């Protein structure tokens, strides 16, 4: 039986994507393209906040 490499594109929201992409990486499934929504300004000063 041959091992076939799966090619796929991932679409998701920023908050959700982190968890899903971490799990895909653990399974050695790396998407060929990742599309997410851009970060949105938050707070009174409307600054961008990076999630860790």
**What's the average model confidence in pLDDT over 33-48?**
77
Q: What's the CA gap between 11 and 33, in Å, rounded?
A: 9
In the block, tokens 């968890």 appear at: 19
Alpha carbon separation from 45 to 23, 41, 42, 49 (Å, rounded): 34, 8, 7, 11
**Which pLDDT belongs to residue 30?**
92
15-31 pLDDT, tens digit per residue, is 778 899 999 999 999 99
Q: Is 4 helix (H, G, I), strand (E, B) or coil?
A: coil
The tokens for 17 are 């994507």
Span of 2-16, 19-33, 37-51 with lowest mean pLDDT = 37-51
**Which pLDDT belongs to residue 48?**
65
Q: What's the CA gap between 20 and 39, in Å, rounded?
A: 18
Residue extents of the structural domains in the chain = 1-52
Residue 44 has pLDDT above 80, yes or no: no
Query: Is pTM beyond 0.85 here?
Result: no
């Amino acid at each position: 039986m041959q091992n076939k490499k799966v090619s796929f594109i991932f679409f998701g929201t920023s908050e959700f994507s982190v968890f899903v992409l971490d799990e895909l990486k653990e399974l050695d499934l790396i998407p060929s393209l990742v599309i997410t929504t851009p970060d949105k300004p938050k707070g009174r000063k409307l600054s961008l906040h990076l999630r860790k």
